[in-house]
């Protein structure tokens, strides 16, 4: 047999050789686990479209955090689910000192000082209309049109970031997609004495159907209209570079692309254009699809999830926010990957 072709299989012969030539590794430090905190007491409520993910009341939150910490996961992202009666048109609960997120952050930092707590800075979980900012409505041709006022919203978002930092958040992660949010939040944090708190910007966030289960979990679906006037069009990739460029100029410390799996080309170009640490958000709909198929017995969950996470890192992500974090880190401990 002629020897003129390459023998790629030489480097695939044994697990040890495959390990030596492996280009991408998963490590527990790559993973951020989202947690949902809700009102009331003695609540541990499974989110129906996200099996294995729960809403916890403050008094039971440590059950979840204990597990995360004992697995060695370095970081959590905190989302608040306030009661419907606590919501109003300007999202007061987002920047109240006694807001559900502020209380959760204080509790976590008091009991687990080493855990890196990331605060999602947005208004949508706290507004009665479900939009990420201040809304002005007007009627036209029998339809109600909603306008999210960019600059008015910025004032409240800056207040939200400062109150989260005051509660003890280690990283501020603004997800609202208002123009100028990084600059305004940076200035507000600096003024309040939080020069050392980094901003993880949801720089490239698409208007995506993949957020469906999250909106059920956080009860944050817009009550009218959609988010297309502030979140990005899924058809665009050059626009992602413009968004990221703005946030870099405004002082972002890390950049995020969200969702993850349908946007791996975006992760790659953002990685190639910018040097900041890059985060991929493997969102609720991506989680729900895998869980649903796994529950049917149609796929191998562990294999599929591992492959997805490797794909995101290969595409350029340094960190991954995923509802699978605990599972992946558990599997890594078993040295399965």
**Which is nearer to ligand PBG, 239 or 337 (by Cβ)?**
239
CA distance 218 to 80: 7
Span 91-150, contacts to ligand PBG by CB under 6 A: 120, 122, 124, 132
Among 96, 153, 163, 175, binds ligand PBG (CB under 6 A): 175
56-95 binders of ligand PBG (CB under 6 A): none
Query: How far, in Å, CA of 78 to CA of 36, rounded?
Result: 6
Q: How far is CA 190 from the centre of its chain?
A: 24
237-276 binders of ligand PBG (CB under 6 A): none
Task: Compute the least distance from the CB of residue 7 to ligand PBG, in Å.
Answer: 44
Pick between residue 81 and residue 122 the one whose CB is nearest to ligand PBG: 122
- Nearer to ligand PBG by Cβ, of 39 and 214: the residue is 214
What is the total count of residues that contact ligand PBG (CB under 6 A)?
Answer: 10
What does the per-residue mask of binding to ligand PBG show for 200-219, with x meaning CB under 6 A?
Answer: -----------x--xx----
Considering the complex, state which of residue 304 and residue 337 has its C-beta at the smaller distance from ligand PBG: 304
Nearest distance from C-beta of residue 331 to ligand PBG, angstroms: 21
Give yes or no: 205 in active site: yes
Catalytic residue (one of 205, 291, 313, 326): 205
Reduced 3-state DSSP string for 239-264: HHHHHHHHHHHHCCCEEEEECCHHHH
Return the closest-CA partner of residue 148 out of 123, 114, 173, 182: 123
Which residues are known to be catalytic? 205, 258
What are the residues binding ligand PBG (CB under 6 A)? 120, 122, 124, 132, 175, 211, 214-215, 283-284
């Amino acid at each position: 047999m002629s020897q003129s072709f390459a023998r790629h299989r030489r480097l695939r012969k044994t697990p040890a050789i495959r390990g030596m030539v492996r280009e991408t590794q998963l490590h527990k430090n790559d993973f951020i686990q989202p947690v949902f905190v809700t009102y009331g007491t003695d609540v541990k409520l499974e989110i129906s479209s996200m099996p294995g993910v729960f809403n916890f009341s403050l008094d039971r939150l440590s059950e979840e955090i204990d597990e995360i910490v004992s697995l060695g996961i370095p970081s959590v992202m905190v989302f608040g689910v306030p009661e419907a009666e606590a919501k109003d048109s300007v999202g007061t609960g987002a920047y109240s000192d006694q807001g559900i997120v502020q209380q959760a952050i204080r509790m976590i930092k008091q009991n687990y000082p080493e855990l890196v707590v990331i605060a999602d800075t947005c208004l949508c979980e706290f507004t009665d209309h479900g939009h990420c900012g201040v809304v002005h409505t007007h009627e036209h041709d029998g339809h109600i049109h909603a306008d999210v006022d960019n600059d008015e919203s910025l004032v409240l978002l800056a207040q939200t970031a400062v109150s989260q930092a005051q509660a003890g958040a280690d990283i501020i992660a603004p997800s609202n997609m208002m123009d100028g949010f990084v600059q305004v939040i940076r200035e507000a944090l600096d003024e309040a004495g939080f020069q050392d708190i980094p901003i993880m910007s949801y720089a490239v966030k698409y208007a995506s159907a993949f957020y469906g289960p999250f909106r059920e979990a956080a009860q944050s679906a817009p009550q009218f209209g959609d988010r297309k006037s502030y979140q990005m069009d899924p058809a665009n990739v050059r626009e992602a570079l413009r968004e990221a460029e703005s946030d870099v100029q405004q002082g972002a410390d890390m950049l995020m692309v969200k969702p993850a799996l349908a946007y791996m080309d975006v992760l790659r170009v953002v990685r190639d254009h910018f040097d900041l640490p890059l985060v991929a958000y493997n969102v609720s709909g991506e989680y729900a699809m895998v869980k649903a198929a796994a529950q049917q017995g149609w796929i191998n969950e562990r294999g599929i999830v591992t492959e997805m996470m490797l794909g995101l890192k290969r595409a350029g992500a340094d960190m991954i926010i995923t509802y699978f974090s605990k599972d992946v880190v558990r599997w890594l401990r078993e040295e399965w990957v």
